[in-house]
Structure 1
Amino acid sequence: MFNVLRSEDQQRGANRTVRFEGEKLGGPVSFFIVDAEPGQGSMLHVHPYSETWIVRKGEAEFTVGGETTRGYPGDVVVAAADIPHRFENVGDGRLELICVHPNGRILQQNL
């Protein structure tokens, strides 16, 4: 058996980001599909699980704990559980990023 969430039924935020929580369809994984303008990104936050970012387009700066790194198309970056982290579009164009949460719900504490 399977469940399908069609593209036209996905709710997008003001910056075109899609938030998907797998629990709603019986799945153990949640994610954001980010579509951000230059300068946009997430605020500093933590999760009780690791977060994996997959850069699809653009250039992102990731801050995890006190360290930063850049991510480019095709790169995968992982932040450990309970470590404050964030990302920002530091490129000239749009940033397309998938943020994978290994949990049926997104559990996030903004700092």
Structure 2
Amino acid sequence: METLIERADGRDDGEDWTENYEVLPGGAGISIILESTTREGVGPRLHRHPYAETFIIRRGSATFTVGADEVLGHAGQVLVVPAGTPHRFRTGPGGYEAVHIHANDRFVTDWLE
């Protein structure tokens, strides 16, 4: 059983790595978005998932809208958005790098705008 996933662009480092992964090997039961950008002010429009989404922020910052709240997340923090909660984010100055963990083996997204 294959349990190691190679980086699609062939690089052997963790820099500038932006990719989506669904149906991971070994029955992981999660899907992952790797997000890396140096641009400010980018991010997805308002949406929700029927499962929790966890953001592990590794570099930079982003302003998250989570339900009715606005949260500034920065490197070294973990943000958990509960299932069914509308959310979005905009990257801060200097960009943003994070791992987004979806508590489902496939992405299920209800776009609200």
- Cα deviation, residue 65, structure 1: 0.6
How far has the Cα of 1:17 moved from its partner?
2.8
Equivalent in the alignment of 2:55: 53
1:84 to 65, 83, 86: 86
**Shift of the alpha carbon at 1:98?**
1.0
Identity %: 37
Structure 2 residue 100 is matched with structure 1 residue 99: yes
User: Aligned pair count?
Assistant: 105
Q: Distance in 1 between matches of 2:43 and 2:18?
A: 11
Partner of 2:8: 8
The answer to whether the aligner puts 1:19 opposite 2:16 as a matched pair is no
- Identify the structure with the greater strand proportion: 2
| TM-score, reference length from structure 1 | 0.84
Q: Which runs of 5+ in 2 are unaligned?
A: 11-16
Across the aligned residues of Structure 1 and Structure 2, the Cα RMSD in angstroms comes to 2.0
Where 1:6 maps in the other structure, the secondary structure is coil
Q: How big is the shift at 1:3?
A: 2.1
Provide the secondary structure at the position in 1 that maps to 2:8: helix
8 A Cα contact 2:24 2:31, kept in partner = no
d(CA) in 1 for partners of 2:56, 2:33: 10
Query: How far apart in 1 are the matches of 2:8 and 2:71?
Result: 34
Structure 1 residue 42 displacement after superposition: 1.2
Aligned mates of 1:8, 1:89 — CA distance in 2: 24
Offset from partner CA, 1:5-45 (integer Å, 9 cap, x none)? 201358xxxxx631111x25343111101113111111110
Unaligned runs of 5+ in 1: 11-15
Superposition pairs of residues 62-73 of structure 1, within 5 angstroms = 62-73=64-75
Q: Report the equivalent of 1:35.
A: 36
